[in-house]
Structure 1
Amino acid sequence: MHVRTLTGGLATALVMSFPLLGGQAAAAPSGGTASPPAAARVLTYDASGAAEFKSAVDRGAAIWNESVDAVELRPAASGQRADIRVLADNGWPRALPGSLGKGTVYIGRQAVSQGYNTVRISSHELGHILGLPDRKPGPCSSLMSGSSAGTSCTNPYPNATERAEVEENFAGAASTRTPLPAPRAVPIRD
């Protein structure tokens, strides 16, 4: 009996601490009417012009999909107009946000030739389209610190603050909420 009590207590402790470890809490059904979680806003991207960086762009999109619930980035279907266009060029990486969730990203070869990580660049530039500003200078743990973290930084993941900001930007995104205008009319050059 002591073993069952001990394992039952341990199981309860694990279930209660699971959210603290980054998991989701399991809730017992209640008699009330709980509203279902809001569906993620789906944004499509076209990386056909990303040349040698296409796999880095796909990985950057996957990182955002792993990191947030309110928005999901998917490759655009053939013939579909994408929300986000991703292009490769010989300049410096930059984003041209339109409205929230729409715009153009350039994966510039100049930064890559200087040693910056392509997946970090992709994830960072997609972060601009998701409404995040640059946060320079900043540590490597901040995705939006961009190039100020140096070439040795390869972290492509948004930190907790950045994830929360994107969740807030897209809160209720499945509704008919009007997209926010872009905060700048000029390119965001990283």
Structure 2
Amino acid sequence: MRMSRFLRAVPALLLGLAFLSTVPPAQADAHTGAGSTASAVRVLRYDATRAAEFRTVMDQAAQVWNASVTNVRLVAGTPADFVVLADNGWPRTSVAGLGRGTIWMGREATAQGYYPLRIATHEIGHILGLPDRRTGRCTDLMSGSSAPVSCTNANPSSAERSEVNANFGGSTPLVEFDKLYIDRPDAAGSLVPAP
């Protein structure tokens, strides 16, 4: 008798587990009532096909952000929300709106010894709504070139991760749209109208 109850319960248990494994985490929280208000994960597509030698590093930077935040996911593809180009200038980002814009991976910074993965994650940070913050600390991704050239930290701080999650959860981003962010070490950081 007990064995037959057990055998009847097993398919129901397996069916329930199969259902839960197909529900995305934000929906799982909404169904279980756990956590705070669930929000959909926003998927941003980026096109790094014209990023030349920086294409692989941009893919790595996208993975850094994917491992760091929960409200947005970056995937390579088109049509793209933001594009990545390579040139000989200083790295910069034109932010058209939250999750939209153009990144130029300028070779000038890598020629001076700055770490390419840190540059790439920093520039994506602008696309995700983060402004430059010239704190000089290597632990702050958005400190950019104000941190020493020897800084190889390519991970956003906990405050930066929280800010991106809030941006894609409905908060107003602090980044200015339709502006070009240039973080040269010889200037206090530049913010100019986008081209």
1:185 and 2:190 are equivalent in the alignment: no
RMSD: 2.1
How far off is 1:38 after superposition?
2.7
Q: Distance in 2 between matches of 1:86 and 1:39?
A: 25
Q: Distance in 2 between matches of 1:124 and 1:111?
A: 13
Alignment coverage as a number of residue pairs: 151
Correspondence for 1:126 among 124, 127, 139: 124
Q: Runs of 4+ in structure 1 displaced over 4 angstroms?
A: 179-182
Q: Distance in 1 between matches of 2:173 and 2:67?
A: 24
TM (norm. structure 2) is 0.72
Relative to 1, partners in 2 of residues 1:164 and 1:180: Cα closer, same or farther, differing over 3 Å? closer
1:143 and 2:141 are equivalent in the alignment: yes
Unaligned segments of structure 1, at least 5 residues: 1-31, 174-178
Residue 63 of structure 2 aligns to a residue whose secondary structure is helix
User: What is the identity, as a one-letter code, of the residue corresponding to 2:49?
Assistant: S
**What does the per-residue CA deviation read over 1:154-182, in whole Å, with 9 as the maximum and x for residues that have no partner?**
10000010000000000159xxxxx9796
Does structure 2 retain, via aligned residues, the 8 Å contact 1:70–1:167? yes
User: What is the identity, as a one-letter code, of the residue corresponding to 1:101?
Assistant: G
TM (norm. structure 1) is 0.74
Higher strand share: 2
Relative to 1, partners in 2 of residues 1:185 and 1:60: Cα closer, same or farther, differing over 3 Å? same
- Residue 109 of structure 2: aligned partner: 111
Residue 65 of structure 1 aligns to a residue whose secondary structure is helix
How far off is 1:39 after superposition?
2.8
User: What is the identity, as a one-letter code, of the residue corresponding to 1:157?
Assistant: N
User: What is the identity, as a one-letter code, of the residue corresponding to 2:120?
Assistant: S
Q: Percent sequence identity over matched residues?
A: 50
- Residue 48 of structure 2: aligned partner: 47
Relative to 1, partners in 2 of residues 1:155 and 1:38: Cα closer, same or farther, differing over 3 Å? same
**What does the per-residue CA deviation read over 1:107-144, in whole Å, with 9 as the maximum and x for residues that have no partner?**
10000100001100000000000000011032000000
Q: Whose relative contact order is higher, 1 or 2, with alpha carbons under 8 Å and at least 6 apart?
A: 1
Does structure 1 retain, via aligned residues, the 8 Å contact 2:113–2:149? yes
How far off is 1:146 after superposition?
0.3
How far off is 1:37 after superposition?
3.8
Q: Distance in 2 between matches of 1:123 and 1:183?
A: 18
Larger Cα-atom Rg: 2
Q: Distance in 2 between matches of 1:33 and 1:137?
A: 41
Residue 85 of structure 2 aligns to a residue whose secondary structure is strand
Residue 187 of structure 1 aligns to a residue whose secondary structure is strand
**What does the per-residue CA deviation read over 1:83-124, in whole Å, with 9 as the maximum and x for residues that have no partner?**
010000000000000010000001100001000011000000
